[in-house]
A = this chain, B = another copy of it.
Amino acid sequence: MSKSVSVGSVAIGGNARVAIQTMCNVKTSKIEEVVRQIGGFYDLGCDVVRVSVKDDDDLTALREIKNRIKMPLVADIHFNYKYALGAIDAGVDKIRINPGNIGSEKNVEEVAEALKRSGTAVRVGSNSGSVEKELLKKYGKNEISLAESALKNVAILEKHGVDNIVISAKASDVPLTIKTYEYLAKKTDYPLHLGVTEAGTVGMGVVKSSIGIGALLLKGIGDTIRVSLTADPKEEIIAAKRILRAAGLDKNYVEVISCPTCGRTEYDSIGLAEKVERLTSDIKKPLKIAVMGCVVNGPGEAKDCDLGIAGGGGVCAFFKGGEIYKKVPFDRAEEEFLKEIKKLVE
């Protein structure tokens, strides 16, 4: 098991559930917009949010943002160690920085001291596009150099007594991502932040992230995840929730089982399945609802569902535990079924 690291009120690693992260895509200095965006993330189920600190205005904004939001805040810093010190001083819960690229040993020491004094967590990590030349030469361009690049940054912090560390090692290549985190999980017990980087737009990005993050979670690897999409960050949170649910790590939701439509389907099961999904997406109860295209497979295949519907011959059959308990004509089926769901949920 990984160590537990506290990021404000959220524990990452150890026995904690896998935390969902995303990043604001509004400039951090635009405080009102940032706070509003983070509110939306919170409502969607995001656990930890990151903002980038690109200039002095962004740095100045951190304290107010932190005070006005409900979830832990991470400051993303590149190169400039003074921004790291400023962010820690502003009370952020974690900083994202690589000590290997913030300059002199003295800079590193200052940041390390500030981290220890405040108890702020820190994420260090590597990216397949920026692995150090000497590591590429030593190990080749593979999971070892990518993982060792992250571990090198970990070692720098450890040397200075910092151990509140989360590690990431991201590639846009899915098999490489998986191999790298497997390597890290063997080498270290710091919690791991999973993600496939530059995964693309929603279409391809969700597929890449699902495979990469999902395959690792199923192996018991990973403590916090961020689905990186070139899209509205809300899509990242939705995809992350789906990955956790599909991987069996979040059972407290309404699972909608629905079959592919085929030549046997006689009613609009696609439309109904989508409506049922929307209607139930925020309900935190471990329920299973089936929307099946036909009576041939429907009730049998979905007999472990709490409620189900299957159509055929002008009517829809409603069933529970594989047993049909009601038949309703097609034209009234949708309305009636949505009522049954509401009853079930209450």
Seen from chain A, the residues whose Cβ lies within 8 Å of a Cβ on chain B are 23-28, 34, 51-52, 54, 58, 76, 78, 127-130, 172-175, 178, 197-201, 203-208, 210-212, 214-215, 218, 228-233, 236, 238-239, 242-243, 245-248, 255-265, 269-270, 273-274, 277, 290-293, 296-297, 300-304
Contact = CB atoms under 8 A, between A and B. Distances in A.
Contact of A273 (B34, B200, B233): B200
A210 B206 contact: yes
A71 to B, nearest CB: 17
Query: In terms of DSSP, what is the predominant structure of the interface of chain A?
Result: mixed
Contact of A175 (B207, B248, B274): B248
Contacts of A293: 230
A197 B243 CA distance: 16
A103 to B, nearest CB: 16
A256 B230 CA distance: 11
Contacts of A76: 262
A246 B211 contact: yes
Contacts of A210: 206-207, 210-211, 214
Given A197-B259, A214-B210, A248-B175, A129 B302 contact: yes
A29 B129 CA distance: 54
A278 to B, nearest CB: 9
B300 A263 contact: no
Nearest to A256: B200
Given A54-B264, A236-B260, A261-B230, A201 B270 contact: yes
Given A260-B233, A263-B28, A215 B207 contact: no
A186 B146 CA distance: 32
